[in-house]
Amino acid sequence: MKMNNTQIAIPFVNLNFQHQLIQNQLQQAIQAVLEQGDFILGKALADFEAAFAAACGTEYGVGVASGTDAIALGLQACKIGFGDEVILPVNTFVATLIGVLRAGAKPIFVDCDPRTALIDLEAAARAITSKTKAIIPVHLYGQMVSPKQLLDLADTYKLLIFEDAAQAHLAEREGYRAGSVGIAAAFSFYPSKNLGGVGDGGMLVTRDPDVAQTMIRLRNYGASQKYFHTESGTNSRLDTIQAAVLHQKLPYLAQWNHDRLQIAQDYDTELAPLAANGIIPIENHSGEGHVYHLYVMRICDSCPVERSEIQAQLMAAGIQTGIHYPIPCHLQPAFAELGYQVGDFPHAEMLAKQILSLPMYPGLSNSQVKEISSAIAAELPTHLPVAI
């Protein structure tokens, strides 16, 4: 693989490992849908919806076209809309914000905990008003927001919990699995997710039958039956072929998540000597329940080398990296009308300048982790030796 005339030795994401493992199964599943011909709302979709909901510890799953639609339509299905305030972390992918806006609700940003990058629930409590209807905890990078703290907050202030679990397939914390904490949760099946399709896709999972039935109508033009429309819905359905692929991958997800955890632990070990130079991984407060969709480290102000230099030198060595995310939601030009400005959320703004995501995917070897860590250490003017 080449990028900008640089030979890529270690890509940021590599899906070949998992696809080669089950190539025959994927081909057979796709062929079965082709032969059945039920490309829209077919049997494979219903089967996958039931299986994924059960895996999340919920009763119902409704497949939609994307994770963004799962948020937007899911909030509508939970009767959240115009006049309602929804609290969400400013440190998230913009899809969370877009989902709130599409539902017609007013987004209320709060800052994050710089150690974990997750929503600051104390800041969330301070942001609650008489119009606050819901809170969206974003289970960022594969780590859940504390379910116990969320449930205490929701109970105290009578809020709905709507989880953004797009990066947290089968993540666990405090005895809860992602998707089972609130009234509903949105997942994405974008190809690079822990459970990814071969195109866009998403799902809402819920324990509430009314939410599920409303979601089923909203994703299909608001129709309760063909040509009879009870709500103003849209066309947002998870394709049957995508569902068939995802269903084949689902039984392997737990092992792939375990592999990610092991890779993260290898990174932690290799990067530990660099802490004195301001290289600090985002903290894991979930133990083995963290599913590491991304492995993110901070290049703190005390580091003698700029993030851009480290990233450029890694690229020169054929190692791809990413930044999740370089501009917090409140500073995105498209949403200037929300009225936020620089300095409103200092932790998120600080992290945006510090974070760097390293390659993370099942199949990444320990020797590659050592190579990446050594390449980072090599850019520092003073550092302890890294084991090779």
- With CA atoms as reference, report the closest residue to 146 among 166, 116, 125: 116
> What is the C-alpha to C-alpha distance for residues 130 and 164, in angstroms, rounded to an integer?
23
Separation of alpha carbons 140 and 92, rounded Å: 7
Q: Please list the residues that pair with 164 across neighbouring strands.
A: 138, 186
Is the CB of residue 187 less than 8 Å from the CB of residue 179?
A: yes
Strands annotated E in the chain = 2-3, 6-7, 60-64, 85-89, 106-110, 132-135, 160-164, 172-173, 176-177, 184-188, 202-206, 223-225, 228-229, 279-281, 295-299, 355-358
The answer to whether the bond into 361 is cis (omega within 30° of 0) is: no
Choose the catalytic residue: 79, 193, 226, 370: 193
Query: Is 148 a catalytic site residue?
Result: no
For residue 188 the two structure tokens come to 């994405």
User: Considering only CA atoms, which of 174, 104, 114 is closest in space to residue 140?
Assistant: 114
Whole-angstrom distance, CA of residue 357 vs CA of residue 12: 9
Question: N- to C-terminal Cα distance for the chain?
Answer: 25
SS3 335: helix
SS3 367: helix
C-alpha to C-alpha distances, 108 to 69, 111, 158, nearest whole angstrom: 20, 10, 17
Residues taking part in catalysis: 193
